[in-house]
Amino acid sequence: MRFNHLFPASLFLLSNLSGVSLWYQQPADRWEEAVPLGNGRLGAMVFGGVEQERLQLNEESLWAGCPVETYPEDFQENLQTLQGMVLAGKAAEAVEFGVAHMTKRPTSFRSYEPLADLNLEFSHSGEVSDYRRDLDLMDGIATVAYSVDGVRYRREVLISAVDDLIAVRLSADQAGAINLKVGLTRAKDMTVEAIGSELQMDGQIIDIAKEDGGREPNSGGSGPAGAHMKFAGHLAAKTVGGTVRAEGDRLLIENADEVLLLFTAATDYSVEKMDFDRAIDPRTEVEGILEAVEGKTWERLKAAHLVKHREMMGRVKLDLGGAERAKIATDKRLLALQEGGADPALIADFFQYGRYLLMSSSRRPGRLPANLQGIWNDKMWAPWESDYHLNINLQMNYWPADLTNLSETVDSLVDWFEPLTERGRFPARILYGADGWLTYHATNVFGRVTGSGSNEGSQFNNGFLDPLAGAWMAMTLWRHYEFTQDEVFLKEKAYPILKGAAEFLLDYLREDKDGYLVIVPSTSPENKFINPETGKAIRITRGSTYHNTIVRVVFEAVIDGSEKLGLDSGLRAELAAALERLPPLKIGANGTIQEWIEDFEEAEPKHRHVSHLLGLHPFATIREDNEALFKAAAKTLERRGFGGDVGWSNAWKTNFFARLKDGEQAHFYINRLLQKNAMPNLFTGHNGRSLFQIDGSFAGTAGVAEMLLQSHSGSIHLLPALPEAWATGSVTGLKARGGFVVDMQWQDGKLTEAVIHSLAGKPSIVRYEDTRKQLDLAPGERKTLRF
């Protein structure tokens, strides 16, 4: 088939100029060129091929494996031995001991899997012209349009959160022109039956042991073989004109004027049980969803979807200038940026795309958080299992949630996190003899709460050395409360979870030789220092700055929460006393914030993690009013540089520099993220532009917001880090802590007007440059400030 790439300007005018979209003049060749859709539970990547359309599908809970916990024998006794070694400075022996005695197979778990592919095979011949595919972010609709043999064809795809299904609508400008075959395929574990105008798919994941030829990328093992999660899907085709009938395991549609395909899927997973549950019949679930839309037309489904989608996406509008570049295809704009051109409007689109991705991967009807790839994964064994990583990645996923006015995306996180913390009480008691709960750095839908890693070394060094990862994650709930001021959420969700985290930490702290309370053994994700005695790189120590910061912010939050709720005065006093005894943040001989309690040299000075600056971002223990720490933080970032250009790390640095009020450096890093890490569909990679991870998108979006508005230091700081490149612009709908929504306009680098809308009636101080204004608004009241 010949392909005419030219796209006439007249067709561009028909496209949606007022919205924000990704658009292309050719179909996707690779997955990283396809565009994502999602409703929080179902996901699809739309390729937009002319003869072969592929919709790569996901369902959020479809994981291989089953619940597996690994409790190393005699852990508590061995922990005491290990603590003794670390406190006595015998780091090398401690690691050897830990890996040998405090690990257990299977060290890891299986992967999040793709659901299926929905394949549409069209019988076209002749030259294709006027091709265009786009993803309208404001509408949540992917559209493919092209002409063949004088007929203009149009394909629209949406995933409705209202009706919980995928809808594909095919139309043409001539009657009877639509001919195609519709099929559902999967690499394994699924059968498909075509009956009349419907396709029924039934699945049962069969995990195969390595010795029987199964795949095992984790050398420490990933859990037992067996018949695990079940799933089902159903597709119904309706046509206007023409015919539809079953042919083999596909549907054959002939001479239709219009086609509507409705698809939904379900598994037998239960988030309450954190397991599959044979009492759930996925087929029944699917039938229920499709019965509820019986008789609904495309127009009705689309209208309901648009109302909901536009309401959420439309809460924030961002204009950084340069909107005329929207007439250039997204991949070409990205290339131009990667070659050094400026495109502030592409940064604004990337910002909106991050919001779009978050609401598409973490929202009801979904009950699970956005995983390492959001919800989109085409690999039977995804990198890092596409899991929930709690030593930076899952935290990042929720940085933009409240800030960019998508607070309800946190609900799906809490649906999963709350039962996870309940499961985490057992290892706290059994492994540490402690109250409260814990989770380590990598977990999954089965609620893994014991250490994991690809092998014993990783299980110990990344996993068992970091039982504080969950406590860090819990601070996401505290921030959600700070933004929403939702007292019921505080009382019922955030406070009890944080209290459990604090109880664990309190029991786990030990006194060191200097009289400080420290976590021991301790680590700084996933960096090593040079052991001064052996000259070798090692991770284990006591009281890393990372752990000290987590302990501090969790204790402060629980003290604050308990005061607000009038609860737990005894615990509050204990936490306050412990806070006094935590090690202070230290500045090392080279002027940087010390990553470890001793002034060790980093094994990798440019390491992607910058966990010793947790106090700069996302927390606020390193603030402007402490000039020495602020300067040392800047020096730390200078020394770290952009390291290996890991996507999420470049995105984090945008946030760090925004907090340092350094708009130019923040701008450098958000550009660098797009230049070094963005793929044609604006997903970002872990290794340069490959190895997709969603966290770069989410942290990048949060970073843009932090450049425009900050509220972590007791004030609402307007335009704290505006770069020269965004001299004139506007934003509406960003949120600030204390229950505020903020709109701003600025010109030639100066704020001209801000509207502060109070939702909760809390007092606040509004800050711009050196001016500070006290605001006392009633709930629902708004005030316009002119500058």
Closest CA to 597 of 605, 585, 606: 585
Q: What mask, x for binding ligand FUC by CB under 6 A, covers residues 17 to 56? A: ----------------------------------------
* Residue number with CB closer to ligand FUC (282 or 400): 400
Which of 384, 504, 668, 726 is close enough to bind ligand FUC by CB under 6 A?
384
The stretch near ligand FUC (CB under 6 A) out of 158-166, 224-232, 383-391, 652-660 is 383-391
* Residue number with CB closer to ligand FUC (156 or 526): 526
Shortest distance in whole angstroms from residue 547 CB to ligand FUC: 16
Shortest distance in whole angstroms from residue 396 CB to ligand FUC: 9
The stretch near ligand FUC (CB under 6 A) out of 106-114, 212-220, 389-397, 610-618 is 389-397
How many residues in the shown chain lie near ligand FUC by CB under 6 A? Answer: 12
Shortest distance in whole angstroms from residue 443 CB to ligand FUC: 12
Rounded-to-integer distance, Cα 717 and Cα 661, Å: 10
Shortest distance in whole angstroms from residue 646 CB to ligand FUC: 6
Shortest distance in whole angstroms from residue 388 CB to ligand FUC: 10
Q: Could you tell me which residues come within 8 angstroms of residue 353 by beta carbon, excluding any fewer than 6 positions away?
A: 20, 22, 137, 682, 697, 701
DSSP state string for 379-421: -SS-GGGG-EETTTHHHHHTHHHHHTT-TTHHHHHHHHHHHHH
Shortest distance in whole angstroms from residue 647 CB to ligand FUC: 9
The stretch near ligand FUC (CB under 6 A) out of 10-18, 90-98, 138-146, 388-396 is 388-396
Shortest distance in whole angstroms from residue 504 CB to ligand FUC: 22
Rounded-to-integer distance, Cα 664 and Cα 746, Å: 17
* Residue number with CB closer to ligand FUC (263 or 692): 692
Structure tokens at 56: 């790569």
SS3 call for 664:
helix
Cα angle 58, 384, 60 (rounded to 5 degrees) comes to: 20
Shortest distance in whole angstroms from residue 662 CB to ligand FUC: 24
Answer for the pair 445, 61: CB distance below 8 angstroms, yes or no: yes
SS3 call for 193:
strand
* Residue number with CB closer to ligand FUC (608 or 767): 608
* Residue number with CB closer to ligand FUC (58 or 371): 371
Rounded-to-integer distance, Cα 419 and Cα 273, Å: 8
* Residue number with CB closer to ligand FUC (541 or 684): 684
Residue with tokens 């990553």: 595
657: left (phi over 0), alpha (psi -120 to 50) or beta: alpha
* Residue number with CB closer to ligand FUC (244 or 413): 413
Closest CA to 110 of 457, 445, 549: 445
Residue ranges of alpha helices (H) inside 449-568 are 456-458, 469-484, 487-489, 495-508, 545-565
Shortest distance in whole angstroms from residue 393 CB to ligand FUC: 5
Shortest distance in whole angstroms from residue 687 CB to ligand FUC: 9
The stretch near ligand FUC (CB under 6 A) out of 384-392, 587-595, 596-604, 659-667 is 384-392
* Residue number with CB closer to ligand FUC (190 or 694): 694
Chain positions 687 to 706 lying near ligand FUC, rule: CB under 6 A, are 693
* Residue number with CB closer to ligand FUC (389 or 572): 389
Shortest distance in whole angstroms from residue 653 CB to ligand FUC: 14
Q: What mask, x for binding ligand FUC by CB under 6 A, covers residues 334 to 373? A: --------------------------------------x-
Chain positions 419 to 448 lying near ligand FUC, rule: CB under 6 A, are none
The reply on whether position 389 binds ligand FUC by CB under 6 A is: yes
Rounded-to-integer distance, Cα 307 and Cα 539, Å: 51
CA distances to 34, 66, 114, 203, 361 from 226, rounded to whole Å, are 33, 9, 18, 14, 29
Cα 518–chain centre separation: 31
The stretch near ligand FUC (CB under 6 A) out of 359-367, 385-393, 558-566, 745-753 is 385-393
Which of 386, 391, 450, 715 is close enough to bind ligand FUC by CB under 6 A?
391
Shortest distance in whole angstroms from residue 384 CB to ligand FUC: 4
- Sheet with 250-256, side-by-side order of all strands: 35-38, 42-46, 52-59, 116-122, 178-185, 250-256, 243-247
Closest CA to 128 of 10, 40, 4: 4
- Give the 3-state DSSP-derived string for 322-353, with helices as H, strands as E and coil as C: CHHHHHCCHHHHHHHHHCCCCCHHHHHHHHHH
* Residue number with CB closer to ligand FUC (112 or 146): 112
The reply on whether position 331 binds ligand FUC by CB under 6 A is: no
* Residue number with CB closer to ligand FUC (498 or 646): 646
Rounded-to-integer distance, Cα 58 and Cα 368, Å: 13
Shortest distance in whole angstroms from residue 369 CB to ligand FUC: 15
The reply on whether position 608 binds ligand FUC by CB under 6 A is: yes
* Residue number with CB closer to ligand FUC (200 or 452): 452
Cα angle 295, 296, 298 (rounded to 5 degrees) comes to: 130
535: left (phi over 0), alpha (psi -120 to 50) or beta: left
Structure tokens at 608: 């992607």
* Residue number with CB closer to ligand FUC (647 or 729): 647
CA distances to 220, 310, 321, 401, 742 from 759, rounded to whole Å, are 51, 21, 29, 17, 11
DSSP state string for 125-145: -S-EEEEEEEEETTTTEEEEE
Which of 163, 526, 556, 662 is close enough to bind ligand FUC by CB under 6 A?
526
Answer for the pair 674, 330: CB distance below 8 angstroms, yes or no: no
* Residue number with CB closer to ligand FUC (120 or 396): 396
The reply on whether position 108 binds ligand FUC by CB under 6 A is: no
* Residue number with CB closer to ligand FUC (64 or 699): 699
Which of 119, 393, 671, 697 is close enough to bind ligand FUC by CB under 6 A?
393
Shortest distance in whole angstroms from residue 148 CB to ligand FUC: 43
* Residue number with CB closer to ligand FUC (94 or 372): 372
Cα angle 678, 680, 684 (rounded to 5 degrees) comes to: 25
Rounded-to-integer distance, Cα 747 and Cα 728, Å: 4
Structure tokens at 697: 């998108």
The reply on whether position 646 binds ligand FUC by CB under 6 A is: yes
Contact residues for ligand FUC, defined by CB under 6 A: 372, 384, 389, 391, 393, 526, 608-609, 646, 648, 686, 693
